[in-house]
Amino acid sequence: MESQTLPETRDDDQSPYSVAHDVAGMKIVFVNVFFVGEPRPGADWVLVDGGLQSTAGRIKREAARLFGENNPPKAIVLTHGHFDHVGALPELLKEWHVPVYAHPLELPFLTGKSNYPPPDPTAGGGAMAYMSWIFPTSSPNLGDKVKPMPEGEIPEMPGWRVIHTPGHAPGHVSFYRESDRVLIAGDAFTTTDQNSAFSVMTQKEELHGPPAYFTIDWQAAKESIRKLAELNPTAAGTGHGKSFRGVQLGTRLTSLVENFEEEEVPTGGRYVKQPAHTDEDGIVDMPAPTSYNVARTIGIGLLAGTAAFLIGRLIQDNTDGFREEVKRGGRKIRRRFS
């Protein structure tokens, strides 16, 4: 599969995940969150997405660095509710008593009514895809803490337009600021190959569609990218991969749409020929699952290999540490009796 390599376009003094002077991005393991607001103590700000479980501390520390201590966001807005975009919310909301907004079609997955349609490990052809069968399809039950996102503009996020960009998730949305053509795209498209563990680890910069293994409607995903390309954005932050800034972004998105079937849609998989259908109550119907025994076997092998590598590194680190302690002990003994 060919891909569009993205040139480096950021200033040296900015995080590679930041999109504009008032849109700071932070990568948490393999997913990004964004802090929208002037970076100064006491400023009003909004958090976009909630990262992975057990990462609330990192998000709060970055928020304090940008906006000062004891200054919670005015709101939390969600591009969608997949596990890697909402995992820290229960912990954050224990301290931050602020509204959480999500598209109405995401609410059943965020209030315990329904799980998401299951991932498709046969889609994408990379290690992340092969291991996706272990990814959660449920999200934290936020109950009445999550509210339906208003159409057009969120009061706590003035100047930003809400754009429904389904395909990866039923109620997926992106946020666009027309004044400077800045886009927060969520997973509508990505700037790295999220299906590939190598690309995820190295953050290799390439323009791609949404993560294949969790995309449930490929035609809707294509139309969502088309909708964003027509905005002609000059800067974009995505849920996966580094940010991209440059006047050529709109052209590259248009090219992505034109080559979408050939380069992005999997050759086979559960949702390729027929999408999953959902409504305000959750899943309505889904295509029958395809066999993913081969993908699961590869995934198990990758998990085992990763675990073996980590254990090996731990043993090696401990062995090296023991040897260094022995050396230091020997030097101390020699100095004592010399």
Asked if residue 298 and residue 168 are part of one domain, the reply reads no
Rg (CA), the chain: 22
Asked if residue 255 and residue 241 are part of one domain, the reply reads yes
Q: What is the per-residue burial (b if ≥16 Cβ within 10 Å, else e) of 187-216?
A: bbbbbbbbbbbebbeeebbbbbbbbbbbbb
Asked if residue 298 and residue 250 are part of one domain, the reply reads no
Q: What is the CATH number of the domain that holds 285?
A: 3.60.15.10
Note the pLDDT tens digit of each residue in 217-226.
999 999 999 9
Asked if residue 8 and residue 86 are part of one domain, the reply reads yes
Task: Point out the domain boundary residue: 290, 308, 324.
Answer: 290
Task: Point out the domain boundary residue: 272, 290, 308.
Answer: 290
Could you give the number of structural domains in the chain? 2
d(CA 68, CA 35): 13
Asked if residue 306 and residue 172 are part of one domain, the reply reads no
pLDDT recorded at residue 11: 47
Nearest of 132, 136, 138, 137 to residue 300 by alpha carbon: 132
Sites in the chain below the pLDDT cut of 70: 1-13, 291-338
Asked if residue 300 and residue 227 are part of one domain, the reply reads no
- Within 125-203, residue ranges assigned H as helices are 127-130, 197-202
Asked if residue 237 and residue 214 are part of one domain, the reply reads yes
Count of residues making up the chain:
338
pLDDT recorded at residue 124: 81
Task: Point out the domain boundary residue: 290, 305, 323.
Answer: 290
pLDDT recorded at residue 291: 55
pLDDT recorded at residue 290: 75
pLDDT recorded at residue 126: 83
Note the pLDDT tens digit of each residue in 7-45.
444 444 579 999 999 999 999 999 999 999 999 999 999
Asked if residue 120 and residue 11 are part of one domain, the reply reads yes
Note the pLDDT tens digit of each residue in 116-164.
999 999 998 888 889 888 999 999 999 999 999 998 999 999 999 999 9
Asked if residue 319 and residue 174 are part of one domain, the reply reads no
- What does each C-alpha distance from 244 to 17, 24, 29, 192 come to in angstroms? 8, 13, 19, 11
pLDDT recorded at residue 121: 92
pLDDT recorded at residue 81: 98
Asked if residue 228 and residue 314 are part of one domain, the reply reads no
pLDDT recorded at residue 275: 97
Asked if residue 241 and residue 183 are part of one domain, the reply reads yes
Asked if residue 136 and residue 231 are part of one domain, the reply reads yes
Range of the structural domain that residue 279 is part of: 4-290
Any bridge partners for residue 207, and if so which?
4
pLDDT recorded at residue 19: 98
- Vertex 174, ends 218 and 145: CA angle to 5°? 110
pTM of the model: 0.84
